[in-house]
Structure 1
């Protein structure tokens, strides 16, 4: 175990520590007019079951940030292990509409893009926005949910994409 870091090294050490938090990979999508927006995100978690709600952290520099700020609606598309080809596109390898090319998308009744074969699609309405540092924390009420397939989410751990493995206690 290493010693606690000095404040001057805190940002670098924080990033190293955060690599140890395994997280599900999601694609956050929205639509403003006829323009679809999306990004890969791991900073997504449940807030409450009553009412069903989540929080999503979006960097203020991300192309989806301002549309979500204006529209106050988005879809969380929970990725499965076979969605590796999608993650790269939504992580910056493609821009704009090109991000949506390598998958089958449909729209909910309000026009939000939903990945057809996602582990889950959660349609959300923003209830609160909290500006903090480089990000905005969006707290959103879940309006509709669709789940499909076996539970086999795509995970991000220590800078790599991976899958969960069940463990047996001895």
Structure 2
């Protein structure tokens, strides 16, 4: 779906020994019991190999002020511009989190399901942080806000 512009909405970030790897994903689906997130990554994506080998990741749901960050993550040509240290925070020994995120989640990757050209990642959430803001929405090939 990410190629048709129907709705993008989350970033997934992991830390590996070679450095930071991230991927912009279609809106993650949530479950409350247990707290978990499901999202898909195209196997041809630059970050797929590192993410598929990782045991943990952080996920950021973007606010309406985060369009620039969304554009960095959705462009392969801007790969080297991702993870500005002034925008990403890290507690000692923890995964980094996007500081301005509407919702920031950290969790363990519990399951990987082969779905043809994509894999489905199921992540059990171990911590969550939210702030009051409006969400960033990508629909019909444009960024929009909901102002809720």
- Unaligned ranges ≥5, structure 1: 1-14
Moved more, 27-36 or 138-147: 27-36
* Counterpart for residue 27 of structure 1: 11
Q: Which runs of 4+ in 1 moved over 3 A?
A: 108-111
* Counterpart for residue 7 of structure 1: none
Question: Which residue among 154, 157, 167 is the counterpart of 2:139?
Answer: 157
**1:76 and 2:59 correspond:** yes
Q: Which has the larger radius of gyration?
A: 1
- How far off is 1:147 after superposition? 0.9
- How far off is 1:109 after superposition? 4.6
RMSD, matched Cα: 2.1
- Unaligned ranges ≥5, structure 2: none
Distance in 2, Cα, partners of 1:84 & 1:147: 18
Distance in 2, Cα, partners of 1:149 & 1:60: 34
Report the count of equivalent residues: 145
* Counterpart for residue 84 of structure 2: 101
Alignment of 1:1-170 (within 5 A): 19=6, 23=7, 25-33=9-17, 35-46=19-30, 48-92=31-75, 93-96=77-80, 98-101=81-84, 104-150=87-133, 152-165=134-147
What's the TM-score, normalizing by structure 2? Answer: 0.86
What's the TM-score, normalizing by structure 1? Answer: 0.76
